[in-house]
């Protein structure tokens, strides 16, 4: 995708993962156009299906998603995404996060969402997601507000998961 080195993905408890990202302004256009392909490369290398700019240390409202249906890359770049509608119907599915590697939990969210965003040319779009796409859109947009999927869990489950991650990361550092 690009010849530049991969962007490192921040891991919990990095405080930048809890910061609120700022809207992308016209002055950020070149920076965002350069950042998006690097984010996609980092996401594919991880491997993952979504990545938000705060996860690579950029506090901008920028998200990349690729569900890779049929093993084909089909990326979407969302600049300043916002959820404009959400179903009352809820769906529960297992979620993970590149910033919490190897950790998964069941999360309940609206089953269908409509998201308004701009692409890299500045054109406005809307996407309606259901199933995995709905969960992915909500998960990545949460990152822009400093929210992690573990925030939807009970304190007990969240603490168990975070302790397990800390233990695994510590063990990896020793290896």
Which residues are tagged catalytic? 140
- Write out the H or E segment, with its range, that includes residue 142: helix 132-144
Distance between CA atoms of residues 121 and 34, nearest Å: 12
51 dihedral zone (left: phi>0; alpha: psi -120 to 50; beta): beta
- CA 108/CA 135 separation, integer angstroms: 9
């Amino acid at each position: 995708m690009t010849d530049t080195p991969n962007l490192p993905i921040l891991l919990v408890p990095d405080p930048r993962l809890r910061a609120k990202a700022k809207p992308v302004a016209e002055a950020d256009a070149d920076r965002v156009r350069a950042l998006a392909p690097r984010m996609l490369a980092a996401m594919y290398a991880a491997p993952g299906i979504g990545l938000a700019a705060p996860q690579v240390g950029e506090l901008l409202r920028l998200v990349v998603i690729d569900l890779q249906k049929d093993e084909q890359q089909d990326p979407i770049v969302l600049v300043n995404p916002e959820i404009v509608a959400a179903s009352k119907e809820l769906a529960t599915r297992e979620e993970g996060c590149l910033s919490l590697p190897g950790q998964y939990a069941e999360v309940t969210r609206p089953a269908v969402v409509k998201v308004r965003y701009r692409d890299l040319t500045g054109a406005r779009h809307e996407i309606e997601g259901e199933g995995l796409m709905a969960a992915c859109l909500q998960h990545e947009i949460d990152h822009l507000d400093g929210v992690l999927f573990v925030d939807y869990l009970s304190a007990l489950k969240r603490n168990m998961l975070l302790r397990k991650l800390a233990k695994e990361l510590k063990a990896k550092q020793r290896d």
